[in-house]
């Protein structure tokens, strides 16, 4: 029994030191890994920030371009019927949207969903307003009708989405 106590006298402090050393080294290694990841993330964000900002800019530009008052200026209504003009407006919005699809990678889910919803709402409104006009009427009548409707609206969906984008940029960058 005395031999066992003698062995414990020398072994216990050694085991204690071994456990303590292990814990200290483990803690040090964890901290070093966190520090390395922090600097890696910081460096990645430094190069990703311009790309993310460009994505927000492109989506804001998309939302501005599909707003009916700007869309009507960009897509002229010459020598067309209202039906053809409606199709051309909707097609123009679709092309703009497809051109900016890849930007969803850099935007938050909420920002992207607002942009998609604004696009869908704009197309829906144009389609609804086009139903108020005779399909064979001149395209100018449809553009005038759309412009009048937009002017009576207080808050158009694209404006709300742009406001959200601005707020998200201010909060995150």
Name the pTM for this structure: 0.75
Domain locations in the chain as residue ranges: 49-172
Per-residue pLDDT band at 91 (split at 50, 70, 90): very high
Is the Cβ–Cβ distance between 35 and 77 less than 8 Å?
Answer: no
pLDDT in tens, 101-158: 999 999 999 999 999 999 999 999 999 999 999 999 999 999 999 999 999 988 899 9
CA distance 122 to 103: 19
């Amino acid at each position: 029994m005395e031999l066992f106590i003698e062995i414990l006298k020398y072994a216990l402090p050694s085991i204690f030191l071994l456990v303590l050393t292990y814990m200290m080294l483990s803690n040090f290694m964890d901290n070093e890994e966190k520090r390395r990841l922090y600097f890696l993330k910081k460096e990645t964000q430094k190069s990703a920030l311009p790309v993310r900002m460009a994505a927000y800019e492109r989506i804001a530009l998309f939302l501005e371009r599909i707003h009916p008052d700007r869309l009507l200026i960009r897509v002229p209504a010459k020598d067309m019927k209202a039906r053809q003009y409606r199709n051309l407006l909707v097609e123009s919005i679709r092309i703009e949207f497809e051109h900016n699809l890849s930007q969803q990678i850099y935007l938050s889910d909420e920002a992207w969903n607002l942009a998609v919803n604004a696009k869908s709402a704009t197309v829906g409104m144009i389609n609804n307003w086009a139903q108020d006009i005779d399909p064979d009427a001149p395209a100018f009548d449809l553009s005038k009708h759309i412009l009048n409707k937009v002017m009576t609206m207080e808050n158009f969906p694209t404006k709300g989405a742009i406001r959200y984008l601005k707020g998200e940029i201010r909060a995150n960058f």
